[in-house]
Amino acid sequence: MTKSMRLLGIFLFFCALTCGTIFATPVNPYLTVVLDKKTPYYTRAISITKINTSLFLKDIDSIYRFWEIKDTQGLTELEFNSLKNDLVFVVMRQRKRDERLAEQLVTMFSDKGHSVIWRDYCLQFMGRLLPESSLKDKKLIENALLSAIDDKDSGIAGAALIAINHNKSLLNIPNEQIDKKIIDILKSDAPDYVKTTVLQLGVMNQTNPQELMVISRKIIEKEKNVQLKTSALAALGEFGVKADLLLIKIYTQSSDLRLRTSALSAERKLSTK
């Protein structure tokens, strides 16, 4: 090897070192703590609040890889998925929005290997992102929401209905399709918390008043969950008839303030019809 070639080699070596130093993108120190599975949950959660709004691409990539993890790393489902959830907010707060976010959320929601909790969170974020998404991403989100309302998990279906309702003007989803799903969930064995939200959504959308009346009467007569019964009383106040005053009257004397307040409100509305 000639002397000039050796010098050239040395020069290129130092150039590589220099460029590597200049263009390196070290992971944010607070993010490093969040991603460390050996660190206690509380410390990880606090560290998320300290992550800045100017992350390097390498940092964002690290977050995306973390979202794909399905093992809870020794945490509870709620703890682990709350870390994932809070990291979505971190990405959304960045000065420069990562254009892959919407598609990544759709991909993770569609992967049923992820927990229902995380898939539910992904749906909620899709609904938030939709108004400012590109046409391509809007279509991806719309297709995912359409798929979600038919999900076997009623919680997922309910979350999808809420996201759709908030973005009605941006979606090509017929009201009839939404209304049918609302009634289907209310007639199913979905958990009370899901039915409560979906019933409130039905009242807001004035979904098939006759069906809602019948369903609400059954809920008031048979169900025990206070929040669900409260929503049903409110629904009867909106769509009921004078004959429903007999059923509502029972709850105007309830010892539960929530039931009593809802019943009195429904009674006032029906009395003026």
Q: For residue 15, what pLDDT is reported?
A: 39
Is the domain of 161 the same as that of 192?
no
Q: For residue 27, what pLDDT is reported?
A: 79
Is the domain of 88 the same as that of 119?
no
Token pair, residue 132, equals 């400012």
Is the domain of 118 the same as that of 199?
no
The rounded distance, in Å, linking the Cα atoms of 222 and 208 is: 21
Domain annotation covers residue 158 = yes
Domain annotation covers residue 4 = no
Is the domain of 168 the same as that of 192?
no
The rounded distance, in Å, linking the Cα atoms of 124 and 118 is: 10
Q: For residue 16, what pLDDT is reported?
A: 37
Is the domain of 195 the same as that of 151?
no
- DSSP H helices in the chain: 3-23, 29-35, 41-48, 57-67, 77-93, 101-110, 116-129, 135-148, 154-166, 175-187, 192-205, 209-222, 226-239, 245-251, 257-271
In 3D space, the residue among 93, 131, 134, 87 whose CA is nearest the CA of residue 108 turns out to be 87
Question: pLDDT averaged over consecutive 10-residue blocks of the chain (273 residues)?
Answer: 46 38 58 95 97 94 96 96 98 94 97 95 95 94 93 90 91 89 92 93 89 95 95 94 94 94 94 83
Domain annotation covers residue 103 = no
Q: For residue 24, what pLDDT is reported?
A: 39
Domain annotation covers residue 17 = no
Q: For residue 6, what pLDDT is reported?
A: 52
Is the domain of 272 the same as that of 191?
yes
Is the domain of 129 the same as that of 165?
yes
Is the domain of 190 the same as that of 260?
yes
Is the domain of 69 the same as that of 116?
no
Domain annotation covers residue 181 = no
Domain endpoint, select from 173, 203, 224: 173
Domain annotation covers residue 16 = no
Domain endpoint, select from 98, 122, 151: 98
Is the domain of 244 the same as that of 201?
yes
Cβ neighbour number for residue 65 with a 10 Å cutoff: 10
Question: What is the extent of the structural domain holding 211?
Answer: 186-273
Number of domains forming the structure of the chain: 3
Domain endpoint, select from 173, 196, 218: 173
Domain annotation covers residue 261 = yes
Q: For residue 2, what pLDDT is reported?
A: 56
Q: For residue 25, what pLDDT is reported?
A: 39
Is the domain of 93 the same as that of 145?
no
Is the domain of 190 the same as that of 273?
yes
